Amino acid sequence: MAVGFPGESAEYRAARGRLLEQEIELRRAMEAVAAARRRLPPGGMVPEDYVFQGLGADGQPADIRLSELFAPGKDSLVIYSMMFPRGRDDDRPEAPGGQTSALPAADWPCASCTAFIDQLDGAAEHASQHINLAVAAKSPLERVLEFAAQRGWQRIRVLSSAGNTYNRDYLAETAEGDQQPMLNVFHRDGQWIRHFWGSELFFAPADPGQEPRHVGTLEPLWNLYDLTPEGRGAHWEEQLSY
């Protein structure tokens, strides 16, 4: 089907046609990667039933085991590890607001993780029809809940991993204790829970001028920028406030 828009030139239409071919190839490549991911052999068994802190069914703070994050009939669990506290080299100055601003700046949450979770929270209600989704942060539960309330996160489940080794075991924490923004997927097969996939692209060398983009295909923000002449901007970063 031939398409066109008002006022476009023949030069524009020819270039747009060539770009469309690239977009078709990208769509095919993304589908091929997704299919290859689904064909992964069984991953490693989860070494322990990690105990997180979160809100229980009664809305009160409670210990919640990894196995309890799986709802009946939903056998995949996605956990995003938020950098809270943020990286030691993160010097973005905008304060997070509320009680979180009273923390030392080194203990503030990561603005990039925050922006990502803002987007995940909007999708969480839809995603929960098919999968289990949670965010885990190393900060104490009360800090995580306070910040979640500030941001208006109402749909996504937030947890504290302060009392377990989940972050260290699943590459969301360095040996020095620095937090890293990993996304991990787990799958339940009967009584067994295995690791299925992790965003290891975070550790792969990035091309010049690029960030790791290990969850880039999930982020509407950056993908929207890619549709514009301005693109992502050479030096722009998400902030906790604007």
Cα separation, 78 vs 140, in Å, equals 21
Whole-structure pTM value:
0.95
Position 234 confidence tier, pLDDT thresholds 50, 70, 90:
confident
Looking only at the bridges linking them, the beta strands covering 183-189 and 76-82 are antiparallel
How would you label 37-49 residue by residue, b for 16+ Cβ within 10 Å and e otherwise?
A: eeeeeebeebeee
Asked if residue 183 is part of any domain, the answer here is: yes
- Assess if residue 97 is contained within a domain: yes
Domain membership flag for residue 37: no
- The values of phi and psi at residue 134, to 5°, are -150, 160
Domain assignment present for residue 188? The answer is yes
Q: Is 176 inside a domain boundary?
A: yes
Task: Tell me if 42 is assigned to some domain.
Answer: no
Residue 117's pLDDT band, with cuts at 50, 70 and 90, is: very high
Look at residue 22 and tell me if it is in a domain: no
Range of the domain at 98: 51-202
Q: The domain spanning residue 61 has which CATH number? A: 3.40.30.10
pLDDT at 68 over 90: yes
Give me the number of domains the chain comprises.
1
Q: What is the pLDDT of residue 138?
A: 98
